[in-house]
């Protein structure tokens, strides 16, 4: 899997961010569901190793925060259109975290023009690492291409089950989980927050959300095609 080194990401930031971020104000994020990480800025993502519950909460909060504050330049789903670096390739390791944290805290200015605002004091460290967790769990390009036809069939089954039709929930959940396990991230993180992963979680447990899982597949697969 090809990953851009830190130096290359820096060059892209310098060369391709032709449009300034301007006066767009950072949008606040509610990070109450995440554990505190202290006042001093860390050099490694603390939510990467605090268990599934914290990790998934960080992804959910980071998803919202990214779309409010970062997608305008870095692209929906962290798929850059060329205006700013494609952060999916930023390695899920300490050296990738250090590069990310420096840009998040201090922003980026070129020739007196703010290309990226400084988010550190405005959003804080918990928000920073939540967004980082969301970014590093994005699936690699084309990661679901082979599975898409079957996922669409599963989506249709889930729609029918949401309407009261019978179905083997355990089998569908296991199949979705199996697809999710095979999805690679662009960052090298071990688990991708793919639509298959989300749908599998939505139909697990005692109260499966068939409609929610079907919607997740519909929206997610549409975004990748």
Domain 6-136, CATH: 1.10.760.10
Summarised one tens digit per residue, pLDDT across range 107-163 is 988 888 888 889 999 999 999 999 999 999 999 999 999 999 999 999 999 999 999
What does the angle CA 53 – CA 100 – CA 74 come to, to the nearest 5 degrees? 90
The CA R_g of the chain, rounded to the nearest whole Å, is 18
Rounded to whole angstroms, how far apart are CA atoms 54 and 49? 9
Contacts of 167 (CB under 8 A, 6+ apart): 157, 158, 160, 161
DSSP codes, 84-104: S--GGGS-SSHHHHHHHHHHH
Name the more confident of 16 and 198: 198
Share of the chain above pLDDT 90, in %: 74
pLDDT at 24: 59
Q: Exposed (0-12), middle (13-18) or buried (19+): which is 54, by Cβ within 10 Å?
A: middle
HSE at residue 34, side-chain half, CA atoms within 13 A, is 28
Strand partners, 73: none
Question: Taking 80 as the threshold, does the pLDDT of residue 2 lie above it?
Answer: no
Name the more confident of 177 and 80: 177
Question: What are the sequence ranges of the domains in the chain?
Answer: 6-136, 148-223
Name the more confident of 176 and 76: 176
What's the pLDDT band for 29 if we cut at 50, 70, 90? very high
Give the DSSP letter of residue 153: H
């Amino acid at each position: 899997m090809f990953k851009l080194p830190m130096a290359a990401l820096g060059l892209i930031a310098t060369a391709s961010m032709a449009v300034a971020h301007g006066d767009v104000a950072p949008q606040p994020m509610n990070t109450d569901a995440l554990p505190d990480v202290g006042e001093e800025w860390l050099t490694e993502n603390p939510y990467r190793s605090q268990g599934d519950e914290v990790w998934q909460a960080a992804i959910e909060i980071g998803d919202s925060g990214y779309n409010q504050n970062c997608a305008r330049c870095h692209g929906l789903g962290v798929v850059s259109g060329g205006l700013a670096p494609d952060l999916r390739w930023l390695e899920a390791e300490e050296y990738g975290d250090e590069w990310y944290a420096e840009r998040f805290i201090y922003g980026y200015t070129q020739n007196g023009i703010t290309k990226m605002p400084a988010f550190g004091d405005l959003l804080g460290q918990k928000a920073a690492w939540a967004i980082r967790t969301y970014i590093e769990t994005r699936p690699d390009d084309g990661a679901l291409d082979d599975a898409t036809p079957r996922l669409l069939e599963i989506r249709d089954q889930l729609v029918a089950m949401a309407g009261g039709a019978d179905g083997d929930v355990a089998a569908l959940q296991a199949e979705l989980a199996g697809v999710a396990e095979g999805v690679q991230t662009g960052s090298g993180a071990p688990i991708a927050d793919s639509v298959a992963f989300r749908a599998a979680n939505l139909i697990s447990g005692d109260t499966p959300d068939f409609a929610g899982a079907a919607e997740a597949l519909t929206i997610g697969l549409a975004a990748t095609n």
